[in-house]
Amino acid sequence: MTYLTHIESRDGTRLDPGSPHSAPPAAGLRARYDLDRLRREVSTETITRGPATLWRYAALLPVAHPEQAITLDEGWTPLLSAPRIARALGMKQLLIKDEGRNPSGTFKDRGAAVAVSRYLELGVKTVAHNSSGNAGGSWSLYAARAGITCVNILPTDAQPASRQHCRASGQPTFLLDNWHDGGRLIAEACEQHGWLNICTLREPYRLEGKKTMGLEIAEQLGWRMPEAIVYPMGGGLGAIAIYKAFEELLQLGWIKGKPPRLYVTQYEGCSPLVKAWDEGRDECTPWGRIDIPPGGLKSPNPPGGRVVLELIRKHGGGAVSVTAEEALACVDELAREEGLFPCPESATTLAGVRKALARGWIATGEEVVLISTGSGLKSIPTLEAPRFPVITGSAELHA
Ligand SMILES: Cc1ncc(COP(=O)(O)O)c(C=O)c1O
């Protein structure tokens, strides 16, 4: 059962939800629901009794038959506290949404599960996108489960784990050296072959899947919002999705108050959003030479740049860049102090919170949620190689 009524574009045009739609991100295609009816028929208690997956929010998702969804039990990831790090930073508490628990190891599974399920209902046979890696791997696995095809273009340095997901699931995958060309190549191929272009923010349903991160954070906090969110930004889809969740929950009256301030982190070697924020612009200008570790933050011209800047202006917040060394040190800090093992992209949020505290953007008493978008297992080659002594007997064991 879905309460989906239509797809709406930024200029207010209503589109038929019974067909797939794909348009440049500026069109701002968003799924809209009959929230008045939903409020009458569904309650937070109904949600709470639902499955321990993102499908507990089926009423707020576009899939007509959630019981037939293409699912690997994604979502409902824990919101963990990081008490030692919080104490060291002088903070009352620090919360971490651990998205590394998802089936392919990142939050990309949320978008893939919901969108693949919906596109199967709409009869789509082939989808195509360029992905820095994690979405490619995730969509490949869900497409395989659905029996459809996902054409992937990944950068030549995409992490081996993502490349293996694409290979093992048998999905057509290509590597591209000049990453700035990826979006154009996919658009041309989709035009030529009639594939559905599912690149970041071109179609409305990936966002609906990722929206469940915001729904979960609110539910896990007892149906309320934190004071600040720190998000490692690539294209910006995840951040936009979290705020769409808060907006819908506010409209439903299931939560009250002010949405959190939004802080985004990027690597120094590709930080178009941070540059735009520092310069007071409304739009990102495309980043030139990309010099960052492989993985999710490789988005030189973020499709969601303008909307993320709007969110920061509307709700407060900021943007901060982090070096690769700082991020890698934060992976180790999270493992050493809290037993967590995030990917370096996720660890930029800890480096970011430290900078935000130093700048007085975040106060130590505030409730802050870091979005840990993926597992360190997706990024093994980027991490320092372990060098342990090889032993031959117990006599060589020295603590
Ligand atoms: C691990 C990880 N974190 C963060 C991001 C950035 O996500 P978004 O493009 O939604 O901003 C990505 C995107 O590829 C990712 O793979």
Query: Best substitution site from 96, 99, 373, 382 to test ligand 1's pocket, by max atoms within 8 Å of Cβ?
Result: 373
Q: Which residues contact 109 (CB under 8 A, 6 or more apart)?
A: 72, 74, 75, 102, 103, 138, 142
Q: How far is the CA of 31 from the centre of ligand 1 (A)?
A: 21
Strands (E) in 117-220, as ranges, are 126-130, 149-155, 173-176, 196-197
**Ligand 1 atom 2 nearest Cα:** 296
Percent of the chain whose pLDDT exceeds 90: 99
Residues ≥6 apart with Cβ < 8 Å to 198:
22, 115, 127, 128, 129, 139, 206
CB-based burial, 296-314: b 16+ in 10 Å, e otherwise:
bbbbbebbbbbbbbebbee
Q: How far is the CA of 294 from the centre of ligand 1 (A)?
A: 12
- Whether the pLDDT of residue 399 is over 90: the answer is no
Average pLDDT over residues 4-18: 97
For the CA of 378, the nearest atom of ligand 1: 1
Distances (CA, A) of 101 to 17, 106, 125, 130, 350: 31, 7, 29, 24, 19
What is the pLDDT, as a whole number, of residue 195? Answer: 98
Interval between CA 106 and ligand 1 midpoint (Å): 9
Residue 335 structure tokens: 């493992």
Q: How far is the CA of 297 from the centre of ligand 1 (A)?
A: 6
pLDDT at 128: 98
Q: What is the pLDDT of residue 398?
A: 77
Residue 238 and residue 266: Cα distance in Å, rounded?
A: 14
What Rg do the C-alpha atoms of the chain give, in angstroms? 20
pLDDT digits (tens, 9 = 90+) for 315-344: 999 999 999 999 999 999 999 999 999 999
Element at 299 (helix H, strand E): none
CATH fold, domain 79-105+204-381, is: Rossmann fold (3.40.50)
Average pLDDT of the residues in 170-185? 95
pLDDT at 253 over 90: yes
Nearest to residue 258, comparing CAs of 316, 318, 310? 316
Domain borders along the chain are 79-105+204-381
C-beta separation of 266 from 274 below 8 A: yes
Confidence grade of residue 389 (pLDDT, cut at 50, 70, 90): very high
